[in-house]
Structure 1
Amino acid sequence: MSDTPELPWPVPDERFRHWASHFADMHDLVRDLVIPCRLPQAAESVLNTARELIRMSYYRYEFMMIGAATSVIAIEAALTDRYGKGTLASHLGKARADQLLTEEQYDLLDSCGRPIRNRYAHGDLTHAVLTPPLAIGMVRTSITVLAKLHATVHPGTAAASE
């Protein structure tokens, strides 16, 4: 017999009862979060992780916030590649000015995504309030923005110099 106690099987998080009665319902919630195949492998991996965290939030509600934060971190990395050093707030402003973000995308990422990313980075997700539709909307926005960023040629790339 092992001295290490077995971890219990996951049980549904009671906070999710209004959104899904069975884990299978989570497939329907995230079904349209399709990751484009033209993204770089790292971005694809991060977005798949974000989607799966939202799906698994059926068992642990905080996974939803971590999934949303993860998708925003992917955008932050792509914007840093594009604009260089700076804050997420300044990069979002530049992307909006360059028309890489719609006003709606900017508002969602700046007013909701950035604070969640900050809470995640500082280990303070316990009081973050996020509904599944908002988290899914944030990941959907991240997918759309990353697809646009990776499809857009910007100064300094090989394609721009040809």
Structure 2
Amino acid sequence: MAKVAGRKKRIIGTTAALVAIGGGAAFAYWSATGTHDTTASAGESANFVVTSKIAGDPLSPNGPVQVATFTVNNPGSGVQELKSIKVSVADSKGTPWVSGDGCSYEDFAVGTPSFDRTQIEPGKSVTGTVSLQMINRPTVNQDGCQNASVPLHFEAS
């Protein structure tokens, strides 16, 4: 009987030790915190792409009016607002045009561009028109403008 009582004591002691260890594990933990920061990259505007074509009878002093049809395309990845179109008789850098034959920007009148001031979706376009007429300058010989290729410069913003 003493053997059984000692054995029971060992079982009870072992069980109590296991419960104490197991019970303690249930309440043990690691404390932790965490944070994270990230940034999104914003794109940038893309320059509008302007194309044009002109139609009408050849220009002459106070003669026919030609009409240039232009298209402003948004090649960017976001919506861009088209507020203004400026058209002038100028070279590709916007410098007022003068030919070697004495014809110049002063011999021409550019009308007010007609277009929708709007926001242009990515990959979309807006079309407009502008007139060009050769003016009569009574005190100036305009023979240098005969057969001239008159450049129009477009600035979209």
TM value normalised by structure 2 = 0.21
Greater fraction of residues in strand: 2
TM value normalised by structure 1 = 0.21
Greater fraction of residues in helix: 1
